[in-house]
Amino acid sequence: MPNRSADILFQLIHSLQKSEKRNFKLYITRNSGNKDLKIIELFDAIDKLPEYDESVLLKKLSSIKKPQLANVKAHLYKELLASLRLLRSTESIDLNLHEQLDYARILYNRGLYLHALKILDKTKEMARTYNQDSFLIQVISLEKKIETLHITRSMQNRADQLSAEADQVNENRKNITRLSNLALQLYSWYIRHGHARNEKDEEGVKEFFRNNLPPSADRFTGFYERLYLCQSYCWFAFIRQDFLMYYRYTQKWVDLFYANPAMIEVETGHFIKGMHNLLNAHFDLRNYPKFHETLKQFEEFAASPVANQHNNNRIQTFVYLYSAKLNLHIMEGSFDEGLKLVEGIEEWLKEYYQYLDRHRILVFNYKVAMLHFGNGDYSRSIDYLQKIINDNVDLRTDLQCYARLLNLLAHYELGNYDLVEYLTRSVYRFMAKMENLTVIEEAMFKFLRTNFYVPAKQLQPAFKGFLKTIKQFEKSRFQTRSFAYLDIISWVESKVSGQPMSRIIRDKYLGDKRGKGM
């Protein structure tokens, strides 16, 4: 994939849609003089560049010299944002509220106090409708200022009412801040470490959660209070691999939006993330009917105007929708069907790479590696795993560990036994250093060390013994991490039965599907 361009103006221009580019030029023509013709020239030149190169750019500019370039770029960036703000102000409740608040300040500065108060009253109602407490604070502050400095006689008991409103909003904001901090810190813990590896990890997370959960949090009624409470419990459960609790709170997270449908457009990112986590919960619990039902709902949302309103919504929807589709094929054992999606996903990733976080790229590479491994194409699986192993990024130590473990098994499948012997020691040391070894991995390394050069015909008893060892931990909570990242049981069962891994997983899926009446 290409490197991300460091030039923010280049990124902004190349993120624009055709209508936004046309609107910008109309905006400049209508609001600026001849002096701004230079920014149009710079805009057109950057728009045509496939990647940012200042030396190439200067050659294309006839009226801008190198010493002038920084100032013209800064002016162009400012005007682009102003143009976008005007164009998109009606599409965002935030921008709309800001605009109304600006109008009120303009009227106040002109001495039209009662006019300003009327706008503030309407703005306050809009902010309440969409649960925008941060705007309520600003509105109430301006109302208090007007009432303090001027005798408006707009309402009796005005001082008592405004004071009570301010106290209530501040209390709500305090609760929201504490819960959003808790949710963010738990999510950050997961991004750095993955799931809890042992009782020590779990106890540390439990203590942190207890110490930071606000008293009586379960009785909070505000939208954002409940949203961040659901998120906090969601990450708390997911880190601890309590997948049933994880499911319950992701469902509450999504249900909160369906109970307040106007908030889907206001907090689209949180809704998308909630759907993603709900799909993950169904995947972890192998809840096939609910997974299919939720995936269908998410596909319908992906086609909606809200999901396609701007790049951020469109990108996040695509990332999580196709992550779920890859999970579907991993869950069903239909690896060959899943691989048909990869080329399209990779083309999309190249186009939008600069907008994606590296964590998401790591996850995609691991899922594709899993598809190739399950489909028996071990060389291609190794290619994708190397992208993770060679990426020097301090994210998801658990993913780094399992990428190395899957890489080891792929080389074992290819018969690269000398390399397997080296990798066994190397991966074991890496996982031990990261404190990432479970009983399952210990048993796996022992099996590999013992059976490096055992002829294939003599391996059946060894594989049967290995399968018996790991099957007893299938329901153990601290071992489920191993099965979530790598379906080692199905891999060993394929060796014992002589059938492809894809067939083993597919038969399990079809059996469970019949058992659940799908």
State the chain's mean pLDDT as an integer: 88
CB of 108 closer than 8 Å to CB of 142: yes
Q: How far apart are CA 36 and CA 326, in angstroms?
A: 49
CB of 346 closer than 8 Å to CB of 383: no
Count Cβ atoms within 10 A of the Cβ of residue 254 and give its class: 0-12 exposed, 13-18 middle, 19 or more buried. buried
Q: What is the pTM of this model?
A: 0.82
Q: How far apart are CA 2 and CA 14, in angstroms?
A: 15
Task: Retrieve residue 388's tokens.
Answer: 């993770």
Q: How far apart are CA 92 and CA 103, in angstroms?
A: 17
pLDDT computed for residue 474 by the predictor: 77
pLDDT computed for residue 3 by the predictor: 41
More confident: 326 or 481: 326
Confidence tier at 458 by pLDDT (50, 70, 90): confident
Single-letter code of the amino acid located at 420: V
More confident: 390 or 4: 390
Confidence tier at 4 by pLDDT (50, 70, 90): very low
**How far is CA 351 from its chain centroid?**
18
pLDDT digits (tens, 9 = 90+) for 208-266: 999 999 988 999 999 999 999 999 999 999 999 899 999 999 999 999 999 999 999 99
Single-letter code of the amino acid located at 47: D
User: What residues contact residue 256 under an 8 Å CB cut-off, 6+ apart?
Assistant: 223, 226, 227, 230, 263
What average pLDDT does the segment 136-162 reach? 79
More confident: 173 or 192: 173
Single-letter code of the amino acid located at 41: E
pLDDT of residue 394 exceeding 70, the answer is: no
Confidence tier at 94 by pLDDT (50, 70, 90): confident
pLDDT of residue 36 exceeding 70, the answer is: no
φ and ψ of 274, to 5 deg: -65, -45
Q: How far apart are CA 282 and CA 277, in angstroms?
A: 9
pLDDT digits (tens, 9 = 90+) for 259-298: 999 999 999 999 999 999 999 999 989 899 999 999 999 9
- Residue whose structure tokens are 């600003």: 138
pLDDT digits (tens, 9 = 90+) for 180-205: 999 999 998 888 777 887 788 889 99
Task: Retrieve residue 178's tokens.
Answer: 């504490």
Confidence tier at 441 by pLDDT (50, 70, 90): confident
Confidence tier at 95 by pLDDT (50, 70, 90): confident
pLDDT of residue 1 exceeding 50, the answer is: no
178-to-136, 168, 215, 249, 372 alpha-carbon distances in Å: 19, 16, 11, 18, 43
Count Cβ atoms within 10 A of the Cβ of residue 505 and give its class: 0-12 exposed, 13-18 middle, 19 or more buried. buried
pLDDT digits (tens, 9 = 90+) for 395-414: 677 788 889 999 999 999 99
CB atoms within 10 A of CB 517: 6
